[in-house]
Structure 1
């Protein structure tokens, strides 16, 4: 049950799928665009992409939890308009009901399908045994470890005998040894055909995890999410992550994820006119500094392969790529394919003391991040040199959804305070120029 050809039956098929959400004063914000994707009988498909590219939204559309804005979503040739009994979803969080024991949580899906109590209990006990939870039927979630709670999540998904199993970063909340064990156990059940599932689609933040499990890897681009590339994986199980072929595949996927798609003419116009609504990556100053210092290490001579950097920093691609995006935005590094090189600005920052770093960071914020320039200009133009955060949040919501606008504002607050471009009172929600380190040149 692996490595199927393209003629295998498509259990789920997406054609031209788009998803957008309403945004105040901006119409709609596109999250997914023109997604064409098939999940075929007998295969495991992995979906990779940067945070915010719409991976989880895609899964929820596929299982009928939310509708697509346009395009076709088919399950066995029929349109998907509501949750389907033939498709199960395992969430990243354990999502268990704390007042129900293991048996009760597993039986829940069968109860919703109106399966008779006797059959319900028999099927639940069978899958609990199969998933490795025998003896814990009467235990409550609070009594279980993280790995055991996620096993309950898998049991609840599998007990309804789904054709297609969807997994939304199902192993990411677990520690490395636990996720490795659970991943191996699931793969064994799949390969030995102990589960009735005909296909698996998994969203992952780990390139290595995707390559260990999947027969195909789909890489999504972001803003909006769209299929960037498809990589077949024909290695036999069990796969050796240290083998030359596996490392080549790993490098190939890293390169795909870090190589930008050639923008359309409309996108070139947009990129040529940066706005305050630029989606700042979700990273901290500590992460920016830590990665830059590693690249600056004498042993690396200011240049390092992305997979090597990820291994050295013990980071998954989903966590490392936004940091590199921030470093590129600030002109501290350049990324070409899988190679990351420090710039002269990055070298200056890495070699500077604490106060010099603040000055350099502030200069690059004002040169490269329009939102930082806008906030500082508004403060300088006001007699009180103060402004409420709600003012900037409203402006961001002209470009971004509410939640994303709040996230971007939180990022610029951290970055701007570090550079001493402005102060911020969290309790009052007020920006000000109180206690700036030095006059700011604009």
Structure 2
């Protein structure tokens, strides 16, 4: 019985991975023929059992790791190395303690042809976008964990990326802070006020995934493959306490069996 999730092909590709194979230096095979597409205006989630390689895949998608075989493309062009158009937000909150909020944000603009005054103004604009208007002079030690994560996200926005890669972005926040930040971030991501076109997030938190994602890729097996792809059709905003939400959640959990080594 369908409860809001259905198979769906992705079109209008912004970032895609085709035929990705990857092994560690010790010969351990991590991925086998991974194919993923992030379409225009889509929030993509990648889930799978712990240790399956979700964060590693995100680094391949961002050009930080080179696959053994296969290609990553941004807007149809091969991606071989990290570029400002693809921003990675780590699960650990990365802010530099000797810099205030605006200086942390300005780091992402160092390669741009901008004056210092222009960078300061853009940093303030990016901080305002994530709800930190008036906090640009605070140092990380003066901020809560949620505020520091907002600074990290503002820094990514300031680079004017086409794609956000988010690695467990809310993992180290308390649930109340994470819930508010999730809603704010989704609204900002596709507001039309930035060049952002797609988001890819990896997470072990299926409630978080179901609340945010338009499409979900499921990884499993050893080496990991895409064993399922689903589209979330529930209307927004999504209520995690609703019967429909919990029925969808049960369906997602059914995919997360322990990985089995392929013969």
TM-score normalized by the length of structure 2:
0.92
SS of residue paired to 2:196: coil
- How far is the alpha carbon of 1:175 from its aligned partner? 0.7
SS of residue paired to 1:35: strand
Query: What is the distance in 2 between the residues matched to 1:191 and 1:21?
Result: 36
**2:11 alignment partner, one of 8, 13, 21:** 8
Corresponding residue of 2:51? 52
- How far is the alpha carbon of 1:193 from its aligned partner? 3.1
SS of residue paired to 2:216: strand
Q: Deviations over 1:104-124 (max 9, x none)?
A: 110001013343323212211
Query: What is the distance in 2 between the residues matched to 1:100 and 1:254?
Result: 42
Corresponding residue of 2:228? 229
Corresponding residue of 1:138? 137
Query: What is the distance in 1 between the residues matched to 2:35 and 2:228?
Result: 11
SS of residue paired to 2:52: coil
Corresponding residue of 2:177? 178
Corresponding residue of 2:38? 39
Corresponding residue of 2:28? 29
- How far is the alpha carbon of 1:30 from its aligned partner? 1.1
- Closer/same/farther in 2, CA of residues 223 and 113 from structure 1, 3 Å limit: farther
| 1:159-308 alignment, distance < 5 Å | 159-258=158-257, 264=262, 267=263
Corresponding residue of 1:95? 94
- How far is the alpha carbon of 1:228 from its aligned partner? 1.4
Give runs of ≥4 in structure 1 deviating > 6 Å: none
Query: What is the distance in 2 between the residues matched to 1:116 and 1:58?
Result: 36
SS of residue paired to 1:93: coil
- How far is the alpha carbon of 1:247 from its aligned partner? 1.6
- How far is the alpha carbon of 1:181 from its aligned partner? 0.8
Q: Deviations over 1:174-195 (max 9, x none)?
A: 0111101110111222354344
Contact 2:190 2:197 (C-alpha < 8 Å) held by counterparts: no
- How far is the alpha carbon of 1:245 from its aligned partner? 2.2
CA RMSD of aligned residues (A): 1.8
Query: What is the distance in 2 between the residues matched to 1:75 and 1:196?
Result: 14
SS of residue paired to 1:258: coil
Instruction: List gaps (5 residues or longer) in structure 1.
Output: 268-442
Contact 1:101 1:140 (C-alpha < 8 Å) held by counterparts: yes
Q: Deviations over 1:350-399 (max 9, x none)?
A: xxxxxxxxxxxxxxxxxxxxxxxxxxxxxxxxxxxxxxxxxxxxxxxxxx
Contact 2:164 2:199 (C-alpha < 8 Å) held by counterparts: yes
- Closer/same/farther in 2, CA of residues 165 and 225 from structure 1, 3 Å limit: same
Contact 2:210 2:249 (C-alpha < 8 Å) held by counterparts: yes
How many residues align? The count is 257
Instruction: List gaps (5 residues or longer) in structure 2.
Output: 1-7
- Asked which structure has the greater RCO (Cα within 8 Å, sep 6+), the reply is 2
Higher helix share: 1
- How far is the alpha carbon of 1:147 from its aligned partner? 0.4
SS of residue paired to 1:112: coil
Contact 2:222 2:259 (C-alpha < 8 Å) held by counterparts: no
Contact 1:50 1:222 (C-alpha < 8 Å) held by counterparts: no
Contact 1:52 1:222 (C-alpha < 8 Å) held by counterparts: no
Higher strand share: 2
- How far is the alpha carbon of 1:243 from its aligned partner? 2.4
Query: What is the distance in 1 between the residues matched to 2:113 and 2:32?
Result: 37
Query: What is the distance in 2 between the residues matched to 1:42 and 1:8?
Result: 11
Q: Which has the larger radius of gyration?
A: 1
Query: What is the distance in 2 between the residues matched to 1:173 and 1:7?
Result: 31
SS of residue paired to 2:188: helix
